[in-house]
Amino acid sequence: MIQIEENKCDFCGCCVGVCPVDCIEVMESIIEIDDEICIDCDLCVFICPIDVLSSVATATI
Amino acid sequence: MWQQQQFDCIVVGGGPAGTTFAQVASRGGLSVLVLEKDRDIGMPVRCGEAISDKGLRYFHDPDPRWILSTIDRIKLTAPNGTEIEFDLNDKGYILDRRIFDYDLAHMAVQEGAMVVTKAYVNGLIIDNDMVCGVKGNYLNTPFEVKAKFVIGADGVESRVGRWGGLRTQVKLKDMESGIQKTVSGIEVQSNKFEFYLSRKWAPGGYLWVFPKGNKSANIGLAISGYFAKEGKSAQKFLDEFLQWKYPECSVLTTVVGGIPVDKTLKCMVADGLMLVGDAAHTVNPMTGGGISSGMMSGMAAAETAIELLHNKKEPTRANLNSYEKKWAKLRGKKHEKYYRIKEAIFRFDDDDLNRIADGIAAVKEEDRSLMKLFSIAVSKKPTLLIDVMRLFTGL
């Protein structure tokens, strides 16, 4: 799962450009990731210029 | 009300590629609606704001209001600090994109286009596999608008293309992670582009200092996604550089963004749909510059739309192929070559760059012809010859 620090985000859309499954939506000052579609590839985490996104291990039961 | 109208063309995105499309298509007699998701055209700026005189003049005479500084010289700094300077054959400018983009939109409106801001597009209307309009949200109210052509000018995100079935995702290694700060209170020469090349400053990219006049400059860098994967972000690289080089500077603005340094999309069109600008990966993959090439793709797409409508032809994928052909001739073919150069330079490590820079620095400036520089580069790094052969043979 990807965690977003929304206060840091500049809404540049760089993460959207590399996302292979189009699960990120960036509006003027809103960013949302659809966890149902996300495949945890972390490409968005790598490409973010200002460390807004981080990968969080999903708890397994 | 635009929500109740039908248009010949709907453009998603109000950057230079989208508004250039709108201007040319409107002048050609087409009805055009431009939908911009942000509240302002031209803001926030996501760009180093550099353009060549030739690139700008292809479309417009430079308006002094757009230009913050005129550049006629380049300084390259190698990893070991060796500096190489030379004059530019074609001068360049640092634009104020806030004013430039705004004026381009204004010109499109003067030709008859309609521009709407804060209009967020979140899907396409598709009928029998043909794109024929867009869906979205404007001030909390959903809308659907139909058109004969939809133009995806939605930048690096390029979702319009994806919704239309095109593969617009940028590979990690071909996406540059960029950040730029406009800093004030520094000594910087107003006529010079400065570039810093090193894996320690900007791995897989470069760092730039673009003067904006009045002791201010755009200082930014872009790193390849390939290196970003190692965990150090573009921001961390830039903060380190500023701390080292300009510890006393004030930061007035910070902008970030992705730069697709890729070959142009193989498929820029689908039935009823054309992609222009960053959305179609029209950035020059060697330099990362994309303003004039984006505008050029917008112009080529508009000419195709005008031709098809005037000849009463359907906007099928096959008919829209004429846009792809125009683009290949204008820039697309060249960009394939530039992409191969980028790939070759990508393999240079700091030792290679130092050897090449020291070799060039030993030559008097007036003797620095391109051929001379090239022969030095090859003598300092013989494998470069293989890369260059690859370049010309396309291997």
**pLDDT score recorded for residue B327:** 98
Q: Is residue B64 part of a domain?
A: no
Query: Are B29 and B149 in the same domain?
Result: yes
Boundary (domain end) residue, out of B332, B358, B375: B332
B53 falls within a domain: no
Query: Residue B372: pLDDT above 80?
Result: no
Same domain, B148 and B178: no
Residue B381 falls inside a structural domain: yes
Q: Mind telling me how many Å the CA of A46 is from chain B's nearest CA?
A: 5
Question: Once rounded to an integer, what is the mean pLDDT over residues B233-244?
Answer: 97
Residue B165 sits in the same domain as residue B125: yes
Does residue A3 belong to the interface with chain B, where contact is any CB pair within 8 Å? no
Q: Are residues B136 and B192 in the same domain?
A: no
Shared domain for B205 and B256, answered yes or no, is: yes
Q: Which of A25, A43, A50 minimises the CB distance to B172?
A: A43
Answer with the one of B306, B332, B358 that is the final residue of a domain: B332
- Distance from the A26 Cα atom to the nearest Cα atom in chain B, whole angstroms: 9
The per-residue pLDDT for range B197-206, each reduced to its tens digit, is 999 999 999 9
Lowest mean pLDDT across B18-32, B68-82, B230-244: B68-82
Are B253 and B370 members of one domain?
Answer: no
Domain identity same for B27 and B132:
yes
Residues of the domain holding B105 = 2-45+98-170+265-332
What's the confidence (pLDDT) of residue B241? 97
B256, B273: one domain: no
Measured N-to-C along each axis, helices B383-393 and B333-346 cross at an angle, to the nearest 10 degrees, of: 160
Same domain (yes/no): B230, B240:
yes
The pLDDT score that the predictor gives to residue B353 is 87
Which CATH number does the domain housing residue B302 bear? 3.50.50.60
Nearest CB to B175; choose among A47, A50, A51: A47
Residue B375 has pLDDT above 80, yes or no: no
> Would you say residue B302 lies in a domain?
yes
| Count: domains in chain B | 3
**Residue B338 is assigned to a structural domain of this protein:** no
Structure confidence at residue B103 as a pLDDT band (50, 70, 90): very high
What's the mean pLDDT in B159-165? 97
Q: The CATH number of the domain where B176 resides is what?
A: 3.30.9.10
Nearest Cβ partner for B258 among A17, A28, A51: A17
Do residue B38 and residue B120 come from a single domain?
yes
Which value does ipTM take for this structure? 0.94
Mutation target among B226, B256, B259, B262 for the A interface, most CBs of A within 10 A: B256
> Per the CB < 8 Å rule, is B177 touching A26?
no
DSSP 3-state of A2: strand
Q: Are residues B279 and B251 in the same domain?
A: no
Judgement on whether residues B135 and B187 belong to the same structural domain of the protein: no
> Is B390 or B70 the better-scoring residue by pLDDT?
B70
Among B260, B288, B311, which residue terminates a domain?
A: B260
CB contact, 8 Å: A29 with chain B? Answer: no
B381 Cβ contact list (under 8 Å, min separation 6): B348, B352, B355, B356
From chain B, which residues contact A within 8 Å (Cβ)? 37-39, 44, 46, 118, 120, 122, 155-159, 162, 169-172, 175, 177-179, 225, 228-229, 233-236, 254-258, 260
- With pLDDT > 70 as the criterion, what percentage of chain B qualifies? 94
Is there a domain that residue B66 lies in? Answer: no
pTM over 0.95: no
- Domain-embedded: residue B60: no
Burial (Cβ within 10 Å: 0-12, 13-18, ≥19) of residue B2: middle
User: Rounded mean pLDDT of chain B?
Assistant: 92
Residues 6+ apart with CB under 8 A from B218: B48, B49, B94, B180, B181, B182, B208, B209, B210, B212
If DSSP codes are grouped into helix, strand and coil, which group holds residue A14? helix
CB contacts, 8 Å: A46 with chain B: 172, 177, 225, 228-229
Lowest mean pLDDT among A3-7, B108-112, B375-379: B375-379
Structural domain includes residue B50: no
Q: Cβ distance B107 to B42 under 8 Å? A: no
A47 has a chain B CB within 8 A of its CB = yes
Q: Which residue of A has its CA nearest to B154?
A: A13
